[in-house]
Structure 1
Amino acid sequence: MLRVPPHSKQHTIPKCYLKAWCDPKTPAGHSPYVWHISKDGPAIKNRSPEKSFTATDRYTITLPNGQRELVLEETLSRLEGDFVGVLSRVRRYEKLTDHDRARLCTFAAAMCARTYAAGEHWRDNLTRLRDQTAALAKARGAGTVATSELDELIQAAPQVHLATTLKMLPELLFQWR
């Protein structure tokens, strides 16, 4: 049996967010759960927030030597913890500090960028760019174009999108009052 590396199952929707969607009528003695309903409707099941909306190594960066870099997963985990701390103050109607607001803005930016659809959107765009570049080079008689760097970017599109969004979007969100 293959051993799964630690931190391979990564949440595309954070556990702290999912906990708010747990069924309030969870029977005594059972763990809280959220309901999963298929897009077409017939498949309905309940799952714990810990096992919901995960993807294998979604935010893991694979280094050229094959080593797994977990900086994005660790960053998301820290942001989730920061958010939970601020959320408790929001629920008590406390005045938020600029530091609290910055944490909320960073969490919101992460929520925008960490979805499966967001990462795949950028993977698809980069794939089209690579294909158009190759077609244009062929049409102009330039032969084949080296696309290895673009291929690496396509492979890491979800991670690159998340890292770039976390670098740029929180500051823009913070400026809105």
Structure 2
Amino acid sequence: MKKERIIVEHQSLADITELPRQLMHYIDRVFTPDDVLITRTLYDLGNNTQQIAYVIQRCQSLGMTLLFLNDLGRNILELNISLTEMLSQLKTIEDNYEKMKLDRRHARALQQGKILGRPEGSVYKKAIYEMRCKGYKQREVAKHFNISLSTVKRHWKKRLFE
């Protein structure tokens, strides 16, 4: 029987919350137990640890072999790869996924015209500055406005129009 070679395309960043559609199609409908899935890294199996673990579990349940291009002698499903190495790779992928989510959220907020960063917090900024100029102490200012001393300290050395 002639073996067919299938190349699974890389998933776009827009679909990072979904399982890799093309790969899942082949795992569910095309691959058989004697097939070998060759990939460069765990990154190619999904965009976060849950997706990668699911794809590995599906391959294992089919009885497929999963190999890395950089080390064709290692079969992840025969446990030739150390568990700590796999967990380390999964942790790295999860960290990168979180960074990617933050970058996407940041870009989306900029497109919507939202102001980024911490909002201006204290309505007392001007009053604290004026009382400081009059010679009041930090504790007296905090008591006068019934606010915490840390709020007064945060605005104490700032100039009004910084």
| TM-score range normalised by the length of the shorter chain | under 0.3
TM-score (norm 2): 0.28
TM-score (norm 1): 0.26
Pair member with larger Rg: 2
